[in-house]
């Protein structure tokens, strides 16, 4: 557990929704929301597609007014450009670009700086509990994505709304 960090949750019933705000300014997906590089390459050596339903989740979030970002430590920009679906992201941040990898808080801060977003307007979706705690420790909201139950994770993501302090 991240000691001393103020853990903020999404849709906490003890808090009121921010007045008139129904969407996060930016939703940051970890690479787990898409298949890993190993999953992309099928046995036939053909490139696979992005995780099923990701496009519809992105479309719904974008329709609410959110910008969509990908923050990953493992993707390679050379082969990313050949896979349909990566163009759905407004911003793509890869740790190898600047050698700042999660769970370093600077990786999340880099995203917010580049998109011009305060932590309170940022939702991070990641499968790693440590990454979620680090994002929360700098003021972002975070949802832990369960790759073994992607459908339930997408439901949680789409139900998330920013809350007041």
Neighbours of 82 (CB within 10 A): 9
Question: For residue 131, is pLDDT > 90?
Answer: yes
The pTM score is: 0.79
Domain ranges of the chain: 26-159
Give the pLDDT confidence score for residue 46 in this predicted structure: 60
Enter the tokens of residue 108.
């999340």
pLDDT of residue 44: 53
| Class (C level, CATH) for 26-159 | alpha beta
pLDDT tens digits, one per residue of 53-66: 888 999 999 999 99
């Amino acid at each position: 557990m991240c000691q001393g960090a103020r853990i903020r949750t999404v849709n906490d019933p003890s808090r009121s929704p921010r007045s008139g705000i129904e969407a996060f300014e930016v939703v940051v997906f970890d690479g787990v929301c898409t298949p890993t590089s190993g999953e992309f390459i099928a046995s036939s050596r053909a490139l696979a597609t992005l995780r099923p339903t990701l496009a519809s989740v992105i479309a719904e979030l974008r329709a609410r007014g959110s910008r969509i970002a990908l923050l990953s430590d493992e993707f390679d920009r050379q082969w990313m450009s050949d896979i349909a679906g990566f163009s759905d992201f407004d911003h793509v941040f890869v740790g190898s670009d600047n050698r700042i990898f999660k769970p370093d808080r600077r990786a999340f801060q880099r995203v917010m700086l580049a998109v011009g977003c305060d932590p309170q307007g940022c939702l991070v979706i990641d499968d790693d509990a440590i990454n979620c705690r680090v994002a929360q420790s700098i003021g972002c909201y975070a949802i832990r994505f369960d790759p073994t139950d992607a459908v339930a994770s997408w439901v949680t993501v789409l139900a998330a709304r920013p809350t007041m302090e």
